[in-house]
Amino acid sequence: MARGPKRPVTVHTIAEHVGVSAAAVSTVLANRHVERRLAPETVERIRKAVQELGYVPNMAGRRLRVQSSATRQIDLAILTSFEAPLPLVSQVLHALQQAVDAQTSSHTRYAVSIEMFHAGHLQEKPGLLDAHRYHGVILTNTLADDDDFLARARLPYPVVVIGRRIPTCCCVLETPGFVGQRSAEVLLDAGCRQPAVLHGRLLTQATAERVTAFRRAVMARLGREPTVLESERLQPAAASAALQGYFAGGGRCDGLFTVTDSLAVGAYHAIQRSGRKIPDDVAVVGVGDFELAEFFTPPLSTVAGANEAMVAEAVPLLFRLLRGEKNVPQEVLVVPPVYLRASTQRLKRPRKEAGS
């Protein structure tokens, strides 16, 4: 009841309620009533009112008063979707925090915050269009709907987008087509004749690109489409279930491309549970965004995983925008590193294909 939607409880509300001045309330809130000689009984009454009225301090007011003269605070945010895998966000966070630590001085302080939205519903995120929340933002893991929203509504602060191309923002992304094409080549070169691709139901621009380019490349070399498998979510369990379902229905495949690394974890599980061997029965190629690929049994070949490189580009870009530089590139393309490991190195030599 004390929290009516009317107006927030301020120190003045409390002061009025108790019958003292706002200064007295502030003094008590800061626990400085002893040095400022407030009567213990008054302190108690103020404390009680604070509690009863449900006072919540207004940090903007405090900050304005307290820190103003010297430090200036710069608020940066990482915007990501709930549904997205976390390693990328972690990498961005680490890189940003490190940059921020380097730039922090006695008169400039940074605050890095992470904000999450539901994939595809970025526009429902409250406060996104307010000019008073962030100095700058790194945005990642968006879906097509979010993209549309961003293209329409210009955000009132500098934005760097990772993994997606958006006309109105500064973007960092993997070279389009590269990953899909390369993964197809790796599988086909290993002798696969029945390649498949496994992706999550929600496709980001990057993962959609990977799938499309893979299909195109397989089509070009084999003259037919690869199998396309869809996992409900990106978690290993979902991926495993999707693949097990495919095998159970008599599906076949001798080479698999998984478009994110969490899918590869589940795929290994399903393949090995079905009695198939990697790489001899099924070669697997995936994405090495997280450091795990090397530790799979057998070690996973990866054709993507430009996260580190993208983050390394994105963070300095954000600072350039913050500084108000004019000639900041609108788009930075990154070529992911390729690691060939045991998961695609078959003991039996690939049979020569007709027409190759």
Partner DNA sequence: ACGTTCAGCTAAATCCTTTTAGCTATTTCG
Partner DNA sequence: CGAAATAGCTAAAAGGATTTAGCTGAACGT
Which residues ranging from 58 to 87 are in contact with its own copies (CB under 8 A)? 58-64, 66-69, 72-75, 82, 86-87
Angstrom distance (rounded) from CA 344 to CA 264: 13
Q: Min. distance of Cβ 137 from DNA in angstroms?
A: 17
Name which of its own copies, DNA, none residue 42 binds, using a CB cut-off of 5 to 8 Å depending on partner kind: DNA
Question: Which long-range contacts (C-beta less than 8 Å, at least 24 apart) are formed by 122-130?
Answer: 122/79, 122/81, 122/146, 122/149, 122/150, 123/149, 123/153, 125/79, 128/155, 129/153, 129/155, 129/156, 130/156
Instruction: With residue 295 as reference, give the H or E element that holds it.
Output: none
Judged by beta carbon, residue 181 or residue 262, the one nearer its own copies is 262
Which residues ranging from 28 to 67 are in contact with DNA (CB under 7 A)? 29-30, 32, 36-39, 42, 55, 57-58, 60-62, 64-66
- CB atoms near residue 305 (< 10 Å): 24
The verdict on 176 binding its own copies (CB under 8 A) reads no
Beta pairing, strands 136-140 & 108-117 = unpaired
Name which of its own copies, DNA, none residue 39 binds, using a CB cut-off of 5 to 8 Å depending on partner kind: DNA
The verdict on 131 binding DNA (CB under 7 A) reads yes
Q: Where are the alpha helices (H) located in the chain, listed in sequence order? A: 11-18, 22-29, 40-53, 59-66, 86-103, 144-152, 178-189, 205-222, 236-248, 261-273, 307-322
The verdict on 86 binding DNA (CB under 7 A) reads no
Determine the size of the site formed for its own copies (CB under 8 A).
69
Instruction: List, in sequence order, every residue forming a beta bridge with 286; answer none if it has no partner.
Output: 302
Q: Min. distance of Cβ 103 from DNA in angstroms?
A: 19
Judged by beta carbon, residue 2 or residue 248, the one nearer DNA is 2
Q: Min. distance of Cβ 126 from DNA in angstroms?
A: 17
Query: What is the DSSP code (8-state) at residue 191?
Result: T
Is the link from the previous residue into 298 a cis peptide, with omega within 30 of 0? yes
Note the residue count of the chain: 356
Contact letters (x/-) for its own copies, 94-123, by CB under 8 A?
x--x------x-xx-x-xxxxxx-------
- Assess contact for 110 and 73: CB atoms under 8 A: yes
CA angle 203, 207, 213 (to 5 degrees): 125
Judged by beta carbon, residue 61 or residue 329, the one nearer DNA is 61
Site residues, DNA (CB under 7 A):
7-8, 10-12, 19-27, 29-30, 32, 36-39, 42, 55, 57-58, 60-62, 64-66, 68-69, 131-132
Site residues, its own copies (CB under 8 A):
5, 7-8, 30-31, 50-51, 54, 56-64, 66-69, 72-75, 82, 86-87, 89-90, 93-94, 97, 104, 106-107, 109, 111-116, 126-127, 130-135, 156, 235-237, 240, 265-266, 268-269, 272, 291-292, 294-295, 297, 322-324
